[in-house]
Chain A
Amino acid sequence: MRTLIIPVLLFVLALLVFLMRRGAFPTINIMNTNSLNWVLRVYTAVLLSSVVVLYMLPKQDFAASTTYLDQFTGIYEAGKAGKLGSTNGVYAKGNWSFEFSGSQLKISSEYPNALIFVQRKDSDDGKLDLIDYVTSSTFDGIDYTDKIKPPKVALVRDELIVKSPGPYQVDYVKFDKDFAAAQFSDESSSQPGSGFLSGEALVLRIPKNLTIDNPQKIVQFVGE
């Protein structure tokens, strides 16, 4: 539709010029002047009222737009130090808790994007606590951290399985200045395609004496 509009407009306007040159148009009365005036008045009223409506719209719930990224790239270092929960620019996206009475836990992951850190508790409380952390993510100046889904996690007998959340679609709408206004603006709008992809890490807190089976060598132990 969008690609067709310019040729269609050109054709319509060329046709108008042709009709004008033939002297046909002044005698063509699409509407009488009174009706036309009314239509123009209504159109102008709609345009003017849209300004009032726009500035009365609630500004909550819009997608965060940012030129500053609360960027944190050292997710590995923070994870190794056991400080992901208290680091700026890192957000918890999901948490799980499983009752576990076995003595050995196998961890397997089909989600290589996320680092997995294992931290031993001070006691044997029979629980596995898992938290998923992500860093800020932006694209085209939009902070989409809120829309990132945590991975799928399941405890099957003695095995903790981490899977990708699966493909999912996130759509945003962004308004730019038109070229006539942008020409006199000092601000440079964000370049299309620029952004930062999120870093992701899972922190698994396990009972004190639990043994971890780590066949994929994907687990990093905190403080060991």
Chain B
Amino acid sequence: MSLTETNLLEVAKKQYFSKFGSYSNLLWALMVVQVLAVLSSLGGNGMSSTGGQGINLQITRYSSSLIVMCTMFWAIISGIICTTTAYKNLDFTYVSSRLSSDISSIGFLLTAGFAAGVMSSLSGVLLRVIIFFTVGSQSIALGYFFPPPQDLLTGILSTTLYVILMSAIGYFVGTLTQVSRGFVILLPLVFIIAVRLPGVGAEIINTFVKESSLLWFAVKVIAATAMLCCGAMLLSNRLEVRR
């Protein structure tokens, strides 16, 4: 390992730890988003009803899907925010390069993504506890109220992987918009066209959402995240050290 590489890693490490202070607003935003998602989930995520013989039966369905979706949304926005000039400039309080800044930002996003995934799944548990004390056990279906620990763990892992993937997408998109402002208009257009048109867009999404093996899903997410991060670092290197 050369002296330059050692310095790069040391600087990246210092920047990584300093980001938990300087980027703390993102963690604050995560908490606010999750609390809002839990509050909005209190009304239920769906409803089904039936009637007959005088009875009008109504079932309010709950899940932590909204919390997971909001956390994923937070992740993509956080990824973009980490590439903004204002946030990048915080890195240059150290003698650093684009590469060390990228490594530390990606490290921060991975760590925050892991924390967000865990917190997202645990928010679903908090939702259950709140519903128990507000509705009462007699009106709650036992079924999936107590998720088995292995299901809770699967939920934590899969949510964490989704959140990390969203962070990487956000970071890549953010870096693209730093390279050229034209991408701010171009990327949403490409996204809308890809989603609307059957073919490549749907294929890419289905690669992740239709995967039923957690192991393969993890492999795909890690590979995609690595590609997006490497892509972002390569693009970032094209930018001047401080614009």
User: Does B81 lie within 8 Å of A17, measured CB to CB?
Assistant: yes
Q: How far is the CB of A158 from chain B (nearest CB, A)?
A: 27
CA distance A166 to B81 in the complex (A): 58
Q: How far is the CB of B41 from chain A (nearest CB, A)?
A: 8
User: Does B147 lie within 8 Å of A177, measured CB to CB?
Assistant: yes
- In the complex, B194 has a CB within 8 A of chain A: no
User: Does A139 lie within 8 Å of B57, measured CB to CB?
Assistant: yes
* A-facing residues in B133-148 (Cβ within 8 Å): 135, 137-147
CA distance A20 to B23 in the complex (A): 12
User: Does B54 lie within 8 Å of A168, measured CB to CB?
Assistant: yes
User: Does B40 lie within 8 Å of A5, measured CB to CB?
Assistant: yes
How many chain A residues have a CB neighbour from B under 8 Å? Answer: 78
CA distance A120 to B36 in the complex (A): 65
User: Please, which residues of chain A bring their CB within 8 A of the CB of B152?
Assistant: 51
Interface size bracket, B side: 35 or more
* A-facing residues in B111-149 (Cβ within 8 Å): 119, 121-126, 128-129, 131-132, 135, 137-147
Chain A residues at the B interface, C-beta cutoff of 8 Å: 1-2, 5, 9, 13, 16-17, 20-26, 28, 30-31, 33, 36-37, 39-40, 43-44, 46-48, 50-51, 53-55, 57-65, 113, 139-142, 144, 147-149, 164-181, 183-185, 189, 192-193, 195, 197-198, 200
CA distance A28 to B24 in the complex (A): 11
User: Please, which residues of chain A bring their CB within 8 A of the CB of B137?
Assistant: 57-58, 60-62
- In the complex, B50 has a CB within 8 A of chain A: yes
User: Does B77 lie within 8 Å of A16, measured CB to CB?
Assistant: yes
Tell me the nearest residue of chain A to B122, going by C-beta: A47
Q: How far is the CB of B208 from chain A (nearest CB, A)?
A: 9
- In the complex, B33 has a CB within 8 A of chain A: yes
User: Please, which residues of chain A bring their CB within 8 A of the CB of B64?
Assistant: 178
User: Does A171 lie within 8 Å of B143, measured CB to CB?
Assistant: no
User: Does A113 lie within 8 Å of B162, measured CB to CB?
Assistant: no
User: Does B67 lie within 8 Å of A170, measured CB to CB?
Assistant: no
User: Does A170 lie within 8 Å of B57, measured CB to CB?
Assistant: yes
